[in-house]
Amino acid sequence: MPYNLKEVIANKPSRFTSGHRMCAGCGAPPVARMILRALKPEDHAVIANATGCMEVSTFMYPYTSWTDSYIHTAFENAASTLSGVEAAYKSMKKQGKLPDDKHTKFIAFGGDGGTYDIGIQALSGAMERGHDMVYVCYDNGAYMNTGIQRSSATPKFADTTTSPAGSVIPGKMQSRKDLTEIMEAHHLPYVAQSIAFANFKDLYEKAEKAIYTEGPCFLNVLAPCPRGWGYPTDMLMQINKLAVDTCYWPLYEIIDGKYVINYKPAKKLPVEEFLRPQKRFKHMFKPGNEWMIEEFQKEVDKRWDDLLKLEEMTNK
């Protein structure tokens, strides 16, 4: 069935409720809520959530925003926790201890710190073992929950509390790790990169594919943080659009090794349009620092060109 936003919202109740304590305008809740809407209403889910903003603000005793089963895991092991649950479920099904006609899906959520950094070993292991689960990284580009420390997902030059831009260093010194490509190197049946964009078709359809493709699947979703990025809270959807229109965050999916770029901007915007509204990049616009923007642009161009080549190569 083709995607219809109104039908999805009207007929599939939210599985991530109001009353959570994430900041006003946070980019993560709309992402998590839409991903869960991709579940068939009759299916149940078990969610494992790595410590981070989403976990500490949605499951604060005695309240939960989740209507599915939910496990708070430590910072580093959402993937291993969930893989254990999935294995137990399979075994119980085999033993006839669970009804045949009811289905449970397994979804992990982790921040970029919990995924690109400390959780990568658990994630890699779970994916390689082939559990039937989806791991979703909501990437806000730093350890936001503990006060904006840099992670390996933080873009180069970003000003964070552990990469402070000043006269000694120009913000973060290293460029961003490409986790989506690392996950593709596991040769998974489905890997995708998405964002909350326009009518959320891209995100919904990728979530549906990831949840209902058998085997280990991975979604990497950029989820802006107004507090850590330093843009006005009402700009969430404009920032997301700039991220894709500048090709800073390409929307693509890899199905059994074949790359599909889902959105190619008619006019690729200069990356400074994405950088300018954000305080974490403010120093890049000071006279004398033009080289930072040039270098940033070069990196974006290179990664986008590589992606175009991969699409061509894998579809020959």
Ligand X SMILES: Cc1ncc(C[n+]2csc(CCOP(=O)(O)OP(=O)(O)O)c2C)c(N)n1
Chain residues in the site for other proteins (CB under 8 A): 5-7, 9-11, 14-30, 33-34, 58-59, 61-68, 196, 198-200, 226, 232-238
CB of 53 to Mg ion, least distance (A): 7
Q: What are phi and psi of 55, to 5 degrees?
A: -70, -50
CB of 142 to ligand X, least distance (A): 6
Query: Which secondary structure element, helix H or strand E, spans residue 98, and what is its range?
Result: none
- Segment lying near ligand X (by CB under 6 A), choices 2-10, 36-44, 45-53, 247-255: 45-53
User: Quick one: CA dihedral 17, 19, 21, 24, positive or negative?
Assistant: positive
The DSSP secondary structure of 13-78, one letter per residue, reads --SB-S---SPTT-SHHHHHHHHHHTS-TT-EEEEEE-SSHHHHHH--TT---BSSEEEE--TT-H
Closer CB to Mg ion, 112 or 245, in the complex: 112
CB of 16 to ligand X, least distance (A): 15
Closer CB to other proteins, 66 or 190, in the complex: 66
Tell me how far apart the alpha carbons of residues 221 and 136 are, in angstroms, rounded to a whole number: 7
Query: Which secondary structure element, helix H or strand E, spans residue 252, and what is its range?
Result: strand 252-255
Closer CB to other proteins, 16 or 296, in the complex: 16
Tokens of 170: 């120009």
Q: What are phi and psi of 300, to 5 degrees?
A: -60, -45
Closer CB to Mg ion, 57 or 104, in the complex: 57
CB 237 within 8 A of CB 38: no
Tell me how far apart the alpha carbons of residues 8 and 60 are, in angstroms, rounded to a whole number: 28
Give me the residue whose beta carbon is nearest to ligand X.
111
Closer CB to ligand X, 143 or 190, in the complex: 143
Q: How does strand 217-222 pair with strand 134-139?
A: parallel
Residues paired with 137 in a beta bridge: 110, 220
Cα→Cα distances 51→60, 65, 70, 145, 176, Å: 12, 15, 13, 9, 22
Write out the residues near ligand SF4 by the rule CB under 6 A: 22-23, 26, 28, 53, 57, 140, 144-145, 225-228
Residue 145 interacting entry, from other proteins, ligand X, Mg ion, none, C-beta within 5 to 8 Å by type: ligand X
* Length of the chain as a residue count: 316
Residue 276 interacting entry, from ligand X, ligand SF4, other proteins, none, C-beta within 5 to 8 Å by type: none
**Total residues binding ligand X (CB under 6 A):** 18
Position of tokens 């080549």? 309
Residue 59 interacting entry, from other proteins, ligand X, Mg ion, none, C-beta within 5 to 8 Å by type: other proteins
Check binding of 53 to ligand X (CB under 6 A).
yes
73, amino acid identity: T
CB of 30 to other proteins, least distance (A): 6
Contacting residue, 144, 183, 192, 242, with ligand X by CB under 6 A: 144
**Window 60-79: residues binding ligand X (CB under 6 A):** 74-76
Write out the residues near Mg ion by the rule CB under 5 A: 111-112, 140, 144
CB of 76 to ligand X, least distance (A): 6
CB of 222 to Mg ion, least distance (A): 11
CB of 65 to other proteins, least distance (A): 4
Position of tokens 């990196």? 299
- Return residues touching ligand X (CB under 6 A): 51-54, 74-76, 111-114, 140, 142-146, 151
